[in-house]
Structure 1
Amino acid sequence: MLPWRRFPFFVYVIAVSGAAMFVPTFYGASVGDFASARLFLYCGVLILFSAVLIGLSLANRHVRGHARSHLLAIVATFVVLPAILCIPIVVRLPALSFLGGYFEMVSSLTTTGATVFSNPNVIPETIHLWRGMIGWMGGYLIVLAALAIMAPLDIGGFEIRSAIHGAQAGGANSGQRLLQGGDRLLRTARQLTPIYGGLTALLFLMLLFAGQDGFSAALTAMAVISTSGITHMSGPISGDSGMLVEMVIAVFLICAASGFVFDASRRRNPREVRRDVELRMLLSILMIVPGFLFIRHFIGAIEVEALGGFSQAFEAAWGLMFTVLSFLTTMGGQSAFWDTAQAWSGLETPGLLFMALAAMGGGVASTAGGIKLLRVYALYKHGIREMERLTLPNSVAGAGQAQRRIRREGAFIAWVFLMLFLLSIAVSMLALALTGIDMVTAMQLAVVSLSNTGPGVTLIMETPVLFGSLSSEAQLILCATMILGRLEALALIALFDPTFWRR
C-alpha cells in the first residue's frame, strides 16, 4: 500500500483545505486584492506542508477501530478544522475576532450559512469566495461521510433503510462493513466527486447563460449545491437576475436535497428513482404548502382589494413556491418575488411554518440538514395506520413487507430521533436563554442552527438577529448547535456505545 493511502482521514481534510487556499490566492491576484492573495498563499503553503508532515508521522500507525476512528475524525473535522480555516479571514479583517472567524467557518463548513458580517458589501470578494468554497466543501464532506462512514454504521438516516430491509439498525457488526484504512472513503470519493463537481459546474454555466456575472454565478452554484446559501450579497440569492435564474436554481435544489442523486446504489435502478419516497414527499410538500400560502395571500389580497391581475398573482405564487423549497432544502434563502407576495396581500411572514419546513429538512445522504424526509415519511405512514386502527381496530395493513417494517421499526427509530431533535432544541434554547436572549428568539435561533438554515433568520424572525452582535457565550452555543445539527445526535450517541469502542 502506498504511504499516502495510510494517512488518517483528518490529514486528508487538512491537506485539501490547504490546497483550496490557492483558489482565493489566484482570484485575489486577478482582481488586484494582493493583500488577501498573499495571505491565502502563505497560509495554504503552511497548512499543506503541515498536513504532509503530520501524515508522514502517522503513516505507520495501525488503526484497528476503523468505525471509531472515522467517526471521531468527522467530529474533529467540524470542531477543529474551522480554527484553521478562519486564520486568513481573521488576519485579513483586523476588526474580526478569532471567535467571530471561528463562528463564520463553523457556519460555512456545516452549510448553515449564518454570518457575523452585518454588511457583506464591505467585505472583499476574496473572503466571500473563501466562505462559499468552505460551504461547498462542507456539503461535499457531509455527503461523503454519509455514504462512506454513516451508512455502514446505520446512522444519519440509514438506520431507517436498514429497518426497511430487515437488518438491525446500528447492529454490533455494522462497523465491520467499513473497508480497511481509507479504501471505502477513497472509493466513495471517486464516485461522488464527478457528480458533485459536475452538478456545480453545470449550474454555474446555466447561471452564466441566464444573465449572472461570473463571480455571482460561481458563488450561487456552490451555495445551491451545498444548500449553504452563502453569497456575497444580502437579499434574494438570485439577486436581480429574474425568475429564470430562480427556476434553474429550483431544479438543482431538488437534486441537491435528494439523496438518490449522490447515492450510486440507489441511482443505478430507474425504478428506485421513481419510487423514491423522499423525492415524492418533497414534491408533495412543494405543491401543498405553497398552495396553502397562496390561498392565504389570495384571501388577504381580496380583503385589501389588491389582486393586481394574473401577472402579479403568478409572481406571488412563484415567490411562495421558491421560498418554501429553499427552506425545505435548508438553504433558507428567499425569492426575489417574496416581497411581491407580501405586498399582494399585506400579510406577515408565517415564520412558524418556515421553521417547521427547515426542521423537516431534505433527503438522506444529501447536503440538506434537518430531521430528513425519510424519517418524516416513516412517522407519516405510522400515523396513517394508527388512524385506520381507530376506525377499524381489527384491520390488517397491506402494502407489502417493506411498508409494514417502515410503519413499525422505521417509525420507532424515527420517533427516537425526533425526540432527540426536540430535546436538542430545548437544551439549546435554555442555554441561549441563560446568556440573556429572550425565549422566542432563543427558540428561533436554536431551530435555525440545528437545522443548518442560517439565512432563514431574515424570514423566520420579525426582527432578524445579527449573529455578530451576540455575546461570545451565545456564539459558542450556536457553534455547538450547528455541529450537532450537522452530525446528528445519533452519531454522537454512538460514540458512547461500549460495543462501539470494543476492539
Structure 2
Amino acid sequence: MDFLGRLPLLVLLIGIAGLAMLVPAGYAWATGWRAIAEFFGFSALLLLVVTALLAVATWGRTAPQRANGLPVLATMLAVFGGLPVALGLPLAMALPDTGLFNAWWEMVSSLTTTGATLYAADMLPPPLHLWRALVGWLGGLCVLVTAVAILAPLKVGGFEIMSSPYGRDERFQPLPESAGSRRRKRQAFYSAGSERATPSLRAMRVLRDIGPVYAGLTVILWVLLLLAGDPGLIALVRAMGTISTSGISPVTGGVGAHSGIMGEMMVFCFLIFALSRRLWPGAGELRASDSLRSDPELRIGFGVVILVALVLFARHFVINIEQVSDADSVSTTVAVSLRNAAVATWGGLFNAMSFLTTTGWNSVDWQGARNWSGLQSPGLLLAGLAMMGGGIATTAGGVKLLRVYALARQSERELERIVHPTSIAGGGRMARRLRGEGAYLAFIFFMLFALSIAATVILISIHQIEFDTAVMLSVSALTNTGPLAGTIALTPSFESTAGIASNPWEGWSGLATLPKTVLAGAMIVGRLETLAILALLTPDFWRR
C-alpha cells in the first residue's frame, strides 16, 4: 500500500481502469464475442503499460506540501473529464461508426453514475452493456472513497454544513477515552489533517474498508435477483446499477420485468444505502445524529417516499368513492379499488425511492400507478425527487437530503420565533449548527444549483431545442439521473447521430456536439458539486 500511496491518484485510477477492462474481455471471449474481447484486451494492455510508464516517471517525487488542498479537486476534475477518454477506447473500437467523442460522452455518463445513454439497449452487444455497468459501478465506488478521502477534508460535497467554522467539533460530547483507544486510532486513520498522508494513500485506506462491503452488497443482490428470476447478465447489471445508483440497464422496461415484485422489493431495500452515509463503514465522523432512528437523512427520505405514494393513492381513491352513490355497489367498488390501489401504491413507492436516490428506474407497476392517480405527466414530480437527491457522501446525486433538512429546520425555527420571539431552540450543538451556518450554506448551494440549471438550459438551447426538452435534459444531467429524460415525451433532435446503434428518440444521441459537451460538463458538475468547482476558481488555488 505504501508503494501505491506514493503514486498520483490519476495514475492509480488509470491502472484500475486497465485491470477492469479484463472483466468484459473475459466475458466477451467466453460468450463468443472474440473481436470485442480483443478490443478490450488491447485497451487493457495499453492502459497498464501507460500506468507503468507514469509510475516510473513519477516515482521518487516528493509529495507536494499542498497535497491535502485544492489541487486534489483539480485531479478529480481530470478524472471525471479525462479518464473517460481511455475508458471509451474499447467502445469506440467495437462501434466504429460511433466515434471517440460519443464513446467519451457515454463513459462520462457512466463514470458519474448518471446512466444516460446514446444507444438503444437491444443494439449493443452484451459485453458493452457489462462494461457500461462496470464503469458506473466503479464510479460509485470512487465517489464513496473520494468523499471521505478528499471532499471531507476540504469541507465540500455536503460536509460544509456539518463543519464548524471555529475549528472545533460541534457534533457530540463523548466520554474521555484512553490514549490507546481503538476508536481514537480509527479516527486518526481517516484524518485528513495528516501532513504525511497523500491523497492516494488516504484513498487506499478508505477503499480497504469500503471496498469489501461495496462488493459484498453487489454480490448479495446479484444472487437474490438470480433467485427471483432475472437472467445472469441482467441480474448482475441491475445489482451494480442499484448499489452505484447509476441506473444502467441492459434492457428496456421495468425492473421487475423478469423477477416480478420480489425483485423490485430487493432493489428497493438496497437503494436505502443511498439515503445516508452512516450505513457504510468508516462514517463515524460523518454522522448528523447520535442514533440511527434520529438520522435526519433517513427520516426525511422515508417521509418523502411515503408521502409521494400516499398522494398518488389518495388522489384517485377519494374521487372514486365520491362518485359512488349506491350503498350496495360501494363495497364492490371499494374491493376493486383496494386491489388496484395496492399495485399502484407499490409502483409509487418504488419510483419515489428510485428517483430520490437518483437511480431512475421504473417499476413494472408505475404505469398502473399513473393510471390510478390520473397523473398524465409525471416528469415534474420525478424531477423534484431527483433534485432532492440522496444522502451526502453517498453514490446519489442531487442537492442532498441533509441540505433540505437544514433548510426545513431553519424554516421551522423562524416560524417558532414569530409565535414566541423570546424562545430558545434546543436540539444540541449539531442541530444548532444545521439551523444556523448549515442552513445558510445550504441556501447558497440551492441558488448555485438553480443558476447551474439556468446556465445549462441557455447553453443547450443555442441549437433551438424545445424549452421543456432542454429543462429535462439539464435537470437529468445535473442531478446525475439519466433515465429522468425518459419520463416525458421529449422532442427528438436529429442534428447528430451516435451510429447505427444510437437511439435519438430518447433525447440524447440526436443532439449536436455543443449540447452534448455542455450536458457532459453538467454531469461532472453535478457529481463534484458546484461548490467544489467554484473552489478551483479561488485566488488561493492559483497562488503559488
TM-score > 0.5, shorter chain as reference: yes
CA contact (8 A) 1:354 1:460 kept: no
Aligned equivalents of 1:316, 1:357: Cα separation in 2: 18
Give the equivalent residue in structure 2 for 1:141.
142
| 1:279 partnered with 2:320 | no
Aligned to 2:125: 124
Q: Which residue of 1 aligns with 2:344?
A: 316
1:481 aligns with 2:522: yes
Match of 1:291 in 2: 310
431-440 vs 121-130, which moves further:
431-440
Output the amino acid matched with 1:339: Q
TM-score between both structures, scaled by the size of structure 2: 0.87
Q: 1:78 to 1:490 in 2, by over 3 A?
A: same
Post-superposition Cα deviations, 1:158-214, rounded to whole Å, max 9, x if no partner, equal 111114997499xxxx97456522221111110110111111111111111111121
| Structure 2 counterpart of 1:497 | 538
- Alpha-carbon offset, residue 40 of structure 1: 0.4
Moved more, 135-144 or 230-239: 230-239
1:416 aligns with 2:444: yes
Change (3 A) 1:165 1:283: farther
Q: 409-418 or 451-460: which moved more?
A: 451-460
Amino acid at match of 1:284: G
Q: Deviations over 1:433-463 (max 9, x none)?
A: 1121122221111111000000112225566
| Aligned sequence identity (%) | 41
- 2:263: which partner in 1? 245
Aligned ranges 1:87-102 → 2 under 5 Å: 87-102=89-104
**2:34 maps to 1:34:** yes
Paired with 1:461 and 1:104, the residues of 2 have a C-alpha distance of 22
Q: What's the TM-score once normalised by structure 1's chain length?
A: 0.93
* Residue correspondences, number: 498
Bigger Rg, structure 1 or 2:
2
- Given that 1:3 and 1:59 are in contact with CA atoms closer than 8 Å, whether structure 2 keeps it comes out as no
For 1:32 and 1:267, the matched residues in 2 are separated by 49
What is residue 156 of structure 1 aligned with on the other side? 157
Specify the alignment match of 2:85 in structure 1.
83
Task: Supply the distance in 1 between the matched residues of 2:165 and 2:295 (Cα, whole angstroms).
Answer: 13
How far apart are 1:389 and its partner, in Å?
2.0
Residue 50 of structure 1, CA deviation: 0.9
Q: In structure 2, how many angstroms separate the alpha carbons of the residues matched to 1:292 and 1:202? A: 33
Q: Is the 8 A contact 2:356 2:388 kept in 1?
A: yes
Could you tell me how far 1:304 is from its partner in structure 2?
8.8
Q: Distance in 2 between matches of 1:111 and 1:139?
A: 6
Q: In structure 2, do the counterparts of structure 1 residues 230 and 309 end up closer, same or farther at CA, with 3 Å as the change threshold?
A: same
Alignment deviations for residues 437-495 of structure 1 (CA, whole Å, 9 cap, x no partner)? 12222111111100000011222556674211111111001000000000001111112
- The residue aligned with 1:233 is 251
Per-residue CA deviation, residues 23-74 of structure 1 (Å, 9 max, x unaligned), is 0011001111111111101111111111111111011222312123422211
Unpaired runs of at least 5, structure 1: none
* Correspondence list, 1:396-475, <5 A: 396-461=424-489, 465-475=506-516
State how far apart, in whole Å, the 2-side matches of 1:4 and 1:329 are: 33
Hey, what's the Cα distance between the residues in 1 that align with 2:460 and 2:319?
A: 36
Deviation at 1:498, TM superposition (A): 3.0
- Please show how residues 339-358 of structure 1 align to structure 2 within 5 Å: 339-358=367-386
Distance 2:209 2:249 in 1: 28
Matches within 5 A, 1:176-191: 176-177=193-194, 179-181=196-198, 182-191=200-209
Answer whether contact 1:149 1:178 (CA < 8 A) is retained.
no
| Counterpart residue identity of residue 197, structure 2 | Q
Residue type of the alignment partner of 1:91 = M
**Selected match of 1:104 from 88, 103, 106:** 106
Once the two structures are superposed, the pairs formed by residues 148-227 of structure 1 within 5 Å of their partners are: 148-163=149-164, 167=168, 176-177=193-194, 179-181=196-198, 182-227=200-245
C-alpha distance 430-211 of structure 1, shift in aligned 2 (>3 A): same
